[in-house]
Amino acid sequence: MILLKALRTEPQERYGTVEQFSDDLENYLASRPIMARKGDVWYRTRKFLRRYWLPVAAATLAVGGLSAGLLVANYQRQKAQQRFNQVRQLANKLFDIDAVARLSPGTTKARELIVGTSLEYLKGLTTDAHGDPDLALEAGTAYIRVARVQGVGIAANLGHADQAVKSLDAADDLLRAVFALRPNDHTAMFRSAQVAHDRMALASERHDRDQALSFAQTSAVWLERYEQTGGVDPKDAGEVSGMYRNIASRFLNRFAGPLQI
């Protein structure tokens, strides 16, 4: 291309000076655009890429890695939201189904199967909950509801107090994970008060006065923190009042007979 330009018959088409000819040779050897060819965008781009291939390759890899990271992060966010919704639906449906089932005689086995299936499903959904405070909070709430169906809180529970204790332990573990990331989480404080309250009820049924009193104190502390950080949510007001009554009864009957809750 350079030689053809230099040998053209039309004087105006040849190099005007020796310096121009020399510059084109140097540009060619250095992979820079040359005068002997039209400087279209693609031609200049290829020359640029040939000269600076290493930084361009590095930049391309960086952009590709960032794009891949964003895709992964978006996928994980969608999966976390999906798990969050599934846990919430599970907790709500469990209570609704059990409320209907316990009205019919001879449904204990079916209710136990529902609880067992719910626990297996819940365990699978909450594998990574400790890194996601929203999911951990919903999972903790679900475990509290499962415990109440198993053996604490609601009328006609299944009477499985030992299993209820395990569910409350799981709820407490998840709530601690929430506090590790959000120390002042208002809802988590109320859920912690519920866990301690339900443990108090179970201890009272075992006639373990000391442990029941300890859980009563813990529940009262959490309720106080809950009120101080954001007040009582109107939808929880009735339960909060009931919890305070039960806690007060525990203190009033500390030297009396077994507490009836």
Total domains present in the chain? 2
Report yes or no on 149 lying in a domain.
Answer: no
The pLDDT value given to residue 106: 74
The pLDDT value given to residue 153: 73
Spatial separation of the C-alpha atoms in residues 157 and 90, rounded to whole Å: 18
The pLDDT value given to residue 183: 95
pLDDT tens sequence across 118-149: 788 778 777 767 788 988 898 899 899 899 98
Query: Residue 261 gets which letter from DSSP?
Result: -
Which residues touch 86 (CB under 8 Å, ≥6 apart)?
125
Q: Residue 6 — pLDDT band, cuts 50, 70, 90?
A: very low
Report yes or no on 8 lying in a domain.
Answer: yes
The pLDDT value given to residue 80: 56
Asked whether 164 and 202 are in contact (CB, 8 A), the reply is yes
Report yes or no on 207 lying in a domain.
Answer: yes
Report yes or no on 217 lying in a domain.
Answer: yes
Report yes or no on 173 lying in a domain.
Answer: no
What is the rounded average pLDDT for all residues in the chain? 76
Q: Last residue of some domain: 50, 66, 88? A: 50
| Percent of the chain surpassing pLDDT 90 | 33
Q: Last residue of some domain: 50, 70, 85? A: 50
**Amino acid letter, residue 156:** A
Report yes or no on 57 lying in a domain.
Answer: no
Phi, psi angle pair for 33, to nearest 5° = -55, 145
DSSP-assigned letters across all residues of 64-102: HHHHHHHHHHHHHHHHHHHHHHHHHHHHHHHHHHHHHHT
Q: Is the sign of the CA dihedral 14, 15, 21, 26 positive or negative?
A: negative
The pLDDT value given to residue 115: 83
Spatial separation of the C-alpha atoms in residues 121 and 87, rounded to whole Å: 9
Which residues touch 127 (CB under 8 Å, ≥6 apart)?
none
Chain centre to alpha carbon of residue 125 = 11
The pLDDT value given to residue 241: 95
Report yes or no on 160 lying in a domain.
Answer: no
The pLDDT value given to residue 130: 77
Average pLDDT of span 97-102? 70
The pLDDT value given to residue 19: 64
pLDDT tens sequence across 73-84: 454 556 656 665
Supply the range of the domain harboring residue 21: 2-50
Q: List Cβ<8 Å contacts ≥24 apart for 66-75.
A: none
Q: What is the pTM of this model?
A: 0.65
Q: Residue 259 — pLDDT band, cuts 50, 70, 90?
A: very low
Q: Residue 71 — pLDDT band, cuts 50, 70, 90?
A: low
Tell which wins on pLDDT, 129 or 252.
252
Tell which wins on pLDDT, 258 or 207.
207
Report yes or no on 121 lying in a domain.
Answer: no
Q: Is the sign of the CA dihedral 241, 111, 169, 177 positive or negative?
A: negative
